[in-house]
């Protein structure tokens, strides 16, 4: 099953983070304005492409773990971004075809591609919601048409909370979402920071915030860990996305850290 609702027209005059990330990941679903924004950030911060790929790879590992080892069959992916490869439903349904996935984003181009690409296995379901993270009530109400909130749900917030300027508001949104799901549910977060590259990350974000949409707010690992308060944080805790259960590591030690930290936690 797959469905989506109509959204607003696509604004090609302003860069959007979903399309810029698509550009950094080597995709073609972006416009000149997105490429210009992406190039300006990459000039200041060449590691941004590594960071974008690391965020996607973390999502794949986390979803694979939750579907494969924890038996999660429902996923609420908020801040979906443009479909690429190894999307949440593909990873989950490869493990358990009956998995049900609800995607949430507010970029019209994401909606257009969701209609075509975010298809489902016959046994499961894939749905797209056109909504903003700052409206969790709408997200939960529409997601309840596909997900059963009496059964565990994994909520993924990949590279989206750093678009909420107020830390208190971001915490309230996460708390509201987690109150809606039962014990045994999971929270998956990645969030930009500056603890690895310091001033270089600050400069790249300042450049993005001059012309990019939406704005980005960097937060430290302690604040990122705060999103998991009241939950059981899984090992290895809050770490750079490249360091969260990376699997096989080549000779030379751990993978290089990037300025995006992440964590996975269980609701007790």
> Rounded to whole angstroms, how far apart are CA atoms 154 and 110?
21
Express each pLDDT in 241-266 by its tens digit.
999 999 765 545 678 899 999 999 99
Whole-number pLDDT of residue 136: 98
Q: Which residue has the higher pLDDT, 190 or 113?
A: 190
| 63-67, 82-86, 153-157, 245-249: least confidently modelled range | 82-86
Model pLDDT, residue 204? 86
Closest CA to 240 of 36, 109, 58, 105: 58
pLDDT tens digits, one per residue of 14-30: 777 778 878 887 777 78
Q: How confident is the model at residue 4 (pLDDT cuts 50, 70, 90)?
A: very low
CA distance 160 to 14: 18
Query: pLDDT higher for 113 or 149?
Result: 149
- What is the tens place of the pLDDT at every residue in 104-121? 988 777 777 776 666 788
In the prediction, which pLDDT does 118 show? 64
pLDDT(89) > 80: yes
Mean pLDDT of the chain: 88
Q: What pLDDT shows up at residue 198?
A: 93
CA 34, 39, 40, 45 dihedral sign is positive
Q: Which helix (H) or strand (E) holds 3?
A: strand 2-3
Pairing of the two strands 239-240 and 260-266: antiparallel
Tell the residue number behind the tokens 């751990």, with chain if given: 254
pLDDT confidence band for 207 (50 / 70 / 90): confident
Mean pLDDT of 115-133: 84
**How many C-beta atoms lie closer than 10 Å to residue 227's C-beta?**
23
pLDDT at 6 over 50: no
Q: Quick one: pLDDT at residue 107?
A: 77
CA distances from 210 to 106, 141, 182 (A): 21, 34, 41
**Interaxial angle between packed helices 32-44 and 48-68, expressed in degrees from 0 to 180 and rounded to the nearest 10:** 100
The predicted model scores a pTM of 0.87
At residue 188, the pLDDT reads 98
- Both tokens of 160, joined, read 């989206």
**Cα 241 from chain centroid?**
12
User: Which candidate, 13, 21, 19, places its Cα nearest to that of 112?
Assistant: 19
Q: Using pLDDT thresholds of 50, 70 and 90, give the confidence band for residue 148.
A: very high
- Tell me which residue of 70, 55, 144 sits closest to 104, measured CA to CA: 144
Predicted confidence at residue 78, as pLDDT, reads 96
Mean pLDDT score, 53-70: 95
Beta bridge pairs of residue 74: 100
159 three-class SS: coil
141 band by pLDDT with thresholds 50, 70 and 90: very high
């Amino acid at each position: 099953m797959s469905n989506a609702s109509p959204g607003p027209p696509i604004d090609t005059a302003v860069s959007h983070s979903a399309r810029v990330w698509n550009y950094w990941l080597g995709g073609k679903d972006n416009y000149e304005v997105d490429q210009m924004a992406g190039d300006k950030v990459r000039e200041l911060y060449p590691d941004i492409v590594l960071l974008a790929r690391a965020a996607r790879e973390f999502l794949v590992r986390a979803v694979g773990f939750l579907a494969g080892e924890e038996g999660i069959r429902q996923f609420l992916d908020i801040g979906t971004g443009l479909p690429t490869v190894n999307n949440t439903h593909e990873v989950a349904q490869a493990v358990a075809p009956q998995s049900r996935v609800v995607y949430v984003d507010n970029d019209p181009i994401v909606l257009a591609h969701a209609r075509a690409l975010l298809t489902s296995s016959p046994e499961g379901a894939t749905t797209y919601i056109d909504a903003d993270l700052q409206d969790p009530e709408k997200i939960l109400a529409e997601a309840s048409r596909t997900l059963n909130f009496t059964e565990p749900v994994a909520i993924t917030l990949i590279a989206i909370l750093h678009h909420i300027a107020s830390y208190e508001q971001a915490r309230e949104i996460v708390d509201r979402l987690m109150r809606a799901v039962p014990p045994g549910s999971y929270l998956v977060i990645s969030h930009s920071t500056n603890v690895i590259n310091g001033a270089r990350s600050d400069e790249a974000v300042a450049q993005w915030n001059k012309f990019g949409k939406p704005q980005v707010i960097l937060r430290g690992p302690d604040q990122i860990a705060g999103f998991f308060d009241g939950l059981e944080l899984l090992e290895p805790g809050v770490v750079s996305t490249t360091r969260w259960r990376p699997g096989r590591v080549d000779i030379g030690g751990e993978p290089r850290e990037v300025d995006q930290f992440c964590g996975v936690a269980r609701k007790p």
